[in-house]
């Protein structure tokens, strides 16, 4: 896959790319929303960094089951319970992905199941 970068659109304000191009020979993996459940328990509310890491790990487990890996993730949608969680969530997102920068949307959303800090939805190309 390749990532899109153009000066005709605003630069990313976080650890992500403006867009991604998926080669025709790849399978698209659409993962259901993943909550920050770790060791069978919801990560305690108010820990957005730990919540992000746990939710991304759960999404990655789905991608891996389809034969993929972390760098096959091309797009992530992050639903935050509170926008003030964005800073810690962004830091955990950057640490989780390292040099890989999938395209991403992050927004505040009420009614996240189990009153979790956040939920992530990923799309991968395997």
Average confidence score pLDDT of the chain: 94
Burial of 61 (0-12, 13-18, 19+ CB in 10 A): exposed
Q: Is the dihedral of CA 101, 104, 108, 111 positive or negative?
A: negative
CATH code, 2-6+14-125: 3.30.1330.40
Average of per-residue pLDDT across 60-81? 96
Average of per-residue pLDDT across 87-91? 97
**Domain ranges across the chain:** 2-6+14-125
Cα–Cα distance, 19 to 43 (Å, whole number): 30
Quick one: what percent of the chain has pLDDT higher than 70? 100
Ordered alpha helix ranges (H), the chain: 48-65, 86-97
Going by the DSSP 8-state scheme, the letter that residue 97 receives in this structure is: H
Q: For position 108, what pLDDT does the model report?
A: 97
pTM: predicted TM-score of the whole model, two decimal places: 0.89
The answer to whether residue 41 scores a pLDDT higher than 90 is yes
- pLDDT bracket for residue 1 (50, 70, 90): confident
CB 80 within 8 A of CB 89: yes
The answer to whether residue 43 scores a pLDDT higher than 90 is yes
């Amino acid at each position: 896959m390749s990532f899109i970068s153009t000066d005709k659109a605003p630069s990313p304000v976080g650890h992500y790319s403006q867009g991604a191009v998926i080669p025709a020979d790849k399978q698209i993996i659409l993962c259901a929303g993943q909550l920050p459940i770790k060791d069978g328990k919801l990560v305690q509310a108010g820990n957005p960094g730990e919540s992000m890491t746990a939710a991304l790990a759960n999404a990655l487990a789905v991608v891996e089951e389809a034969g993929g890996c972390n760098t096959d993730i091309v797009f992530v949608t992050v639903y935050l319970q509170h926008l003030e969680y964005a800073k810690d969530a962004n830091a955990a997102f950057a640490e989780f992905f390292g040099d890989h920068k999938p395209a991403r949307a992050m927004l505040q959303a009420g009614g996240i199941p189990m009153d979790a800090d956040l939920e992530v939805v990923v799309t991968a190309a395997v």
